[in-house]
Amino acid sequence: MSRTAKIAGVSALAGLMMTVAIVAATRPSAPPPSPRAAVAADEGRARLARELDRCATLTMPDAGCEAAWAENRRRFFRQDEPAPDTERDGGPSSPAKGDAP
């Protein structure tokens, strides 16, 4: 390989490295997404599953088990989400403006 080809190769590599450095320096740094929320939710589900497994082996009533089963039912039926409002469309359940109550 000739000396000129080596100089051209090193120059191209240096130019590429300089481009990467400039792009990295000018790019806005965004904080990494926090995986704690997902971990906490997964940990809560795992804790609930362990408690339900423990409760499945019991033969006597237990307040902790009753709370765990209530939480499981609440999650299953998604009772923590608000119910949709069906009376907003002005249907038959809402009185007309000119009608007296």
Tokens standing for residue 80: 């923590």
Instruction: Give 64's contacts (C-beta < 8 A, 6+ positions apart).
Output: 51, 55
Check pLDDT > 70 for residue 70: yes
Q: What is the mean pLDDT of the chain?
A: 77
Domain extent, residue 48, equals 35-80
Give the residue among 33, 36, 45 at the shortest CA–CA distance from 74. Answer: 45
pTM for the whole thing? 0.37
Is 59 a member of any domain? yes
Is 74 a member of any domain? yes
Is 50 a member of any domain? yes
| DSSP single-letter state for residue 99 | S
Is 60 a member of any domain? yes
Is 67 a member of any domain? yes
Q: How many domains does the chain contain in total? A: 1
What's residue 64's pLDDT?
87
Is 65 a member of any domain? yes
Is 2 a member of any domain? no
What are phi and psi for residue 6, nearest 5 degrees? -65, -45
